[in-house]
Structure 1
Amino acid sequence: MGFDFEYFWSLWPAILEGSLMTLGAAAAGSVGAILVGMALALGRRSGTVGRILCAGFTEAIRLSPFLVQLYFLYYVLPVWGLTMSALTVGILTLSLHFGAFLGEVFGAGIDAVPRGQVEAARALGLRGRQISFLIVLPQMLRFVAAPTANYMISLLKTTPYLAVVGVPEMLGVAFDRASDSFRYVEPLTAAGLLFLVYSIIIGRGARYVERNIRPL
């Protein structure tokens, strides 16, 4: 069975429509992961209690599979009276899972900022929150750009797991078309090409940030 280019091109409207769901989930999950990661990085430097709680959460998330976390939130939250759509649960799981990894990345970025600048800010009368948001966080951006982009690419490639709870993302659409026609090469090739293109765009964006963002 050869590669049917006519069928391949006919798939693109449906695949592109599914990619909008993939990109939306990935974008929302990325924002959530960055917020969770930043909260964990700062929490682990806020005191003994914050350090213990954030470290425990980080280890629990990092040492358990994403799919287990997805099933847990999807089926357990309704038992506790919290019902959300499959897409919302998927975004939440992406945020928590990759936020745990980004917490370590952001923590390393914070530690890379010279301590002398923090001490100088304190000498000028700035408080802890002001130092964090005005001195430390802007400077750590360049340090964490590349690893953060790597995790964002991994997050994008994890979105197909959302199909198991009914989210109509790109790879799920490709499999639906394949099951209808019993041709798998063309749909999966289309989905794979789009994943590749989106990953390249994220990587190029990270390199742009590294080249153009300098510590203040």
Structure 2
Amino acid sequence: MLFGIEWDTSTSWAFAWSILPILLRGMVVTIQASLLGFFVALGLGLLLASLKGVPLKIIAWPAAFITEFLRDTPLLIQLFFLYYVLPDYGIVLPAFLTGALALGVQYSAYTAEVYRAGIQAVPRGQKEAARALNLSERLTFIHVILPQAVVRIVPAMGNYLVSIMKDVPVLSVVTVLEMLNVAKIIGDRTFNYLIPLTMVGALYLLLTLVAAWGVRVLDTRLPKRGIPLK
């Protein structure tokens, strides 16, 4: 029994049906961690990309260093640092929030490069036209460059969403009960690993297919000339 749910090990189908509710609970945790981590990666990645594009080297170089550091260090080390080191300095976060932040911080280094590529893909004439209209650098970036860059990077960002989703099982090392951790606990208690692990694999396949389909739909429906801002 786990979370008050009993399972029947008499037959394979009965066993699979009895553990499905608890696996679905783990799937909800997986989805929540994936989305929270993805939004953190989007926000922090945009910040890093913006700072790297600043002409002042005293700002651009530290942003570039942070990006390289995050990209070149393992996710597991960053997760352990947030979960075990920060409490020594009085910063204690729940395991779930720590894990989602670790995913977001790790992938922000990759999304920052995607933002940079999208921004550089915007024709230079767009910026010159905005300058001719006497728009400031900030307004030009927010209302002219960024809306056109976003539509160019949707497929790449979708790939990172799927990657984050597949990295969520790493959070099991800090006791987050996502799908794979739940399946392992069921296997430990029933000595049957085949069925729960197979079901987790199928659920992950379903999640990634749905995410990929949603990204394709979003990519086809976004206006290619940029997102209109009012």
Same fold (TM over 0.5): yes
Aligned equivalent of 2:166: 157
* C-alpha distance in structure 2 between counterparts of 1:23 and 1:209, whole Å: 19
The 5 Å alignment of 1:1-216 reads 4-46=12-54, 47-213=56-222, 214-216=224-226
State the alpha-carbon separation in 2 of the partners of residues 16 and 136 from structure 1. 41
Q: Deviations over 1:153-183 (max 9, x none)?
A: 0100111111100111111111111111111
Contact 1:38/1:102 (<8 A) preserved:
yes
SS at match of 2:53: coil
- The separation in 2 between residues aligned to 1:182 and 1:117, in whole angstroms, is 62
Q: Deviations over 1:122-150 (max 9, x none)?
A: 11111111111111111112211111111
* Partner SS for 1:11: helix
Distance 2:79 2:13 in 1: 36
Q: Report how many aligned residue pairs link the two structures.
A: 214
1-structure distance, mates of 2:88, 2:64: 27
Give identity over the alignment, percent. 37
Gaps of 5+ in 1: none
**Runs of 4+ in structure 1 displaced over 4 angstroms?**
none
After superposing the two structures, state which structure 1 stretch, 54-63 or 3-12, moved more.
3-12
Q: Using the TM superposition, give the Cα deviation of residue 50 of structure 1 relative to its aligned residue in structure 2, in angstroms.
A: 2.0
Q: Is the 8 A contact 1:153 1:202 kept in 2?
A: yes
1:76-105: CA deviations, max 9, x gaps?
A: 101111111111111111111001110001
Amino acid at match of 1:93: A
**TM-score normalised to the size of structure 2?**
0.90
Give 1:43 deviation, angstroms.
0.7
> Which runs of no fewer than 5 residues in structure 2 stay unpaired?
1-10
CA-CA distance at 1:115 after TM superposition: 0.7
Give the distance between the partners of 1:42 and 1:99, measured in 2 at CA: 12
Q: Is contact 1:140–1:215 with CA below 8 Å preserved after alignment?
A: no
CA RMSD of aligned residues (A): 1.1
- Following the alignment from structure 2 to structure 1, what is the Cα–Cα distance between the partners of residues 136 and 218? 28
CA–CA separation in structure 1 for the residues paired with 2:140 and 2:207: 35
Q: Tell me which amino acid in the other structure corresponds to 2:141.
A: S
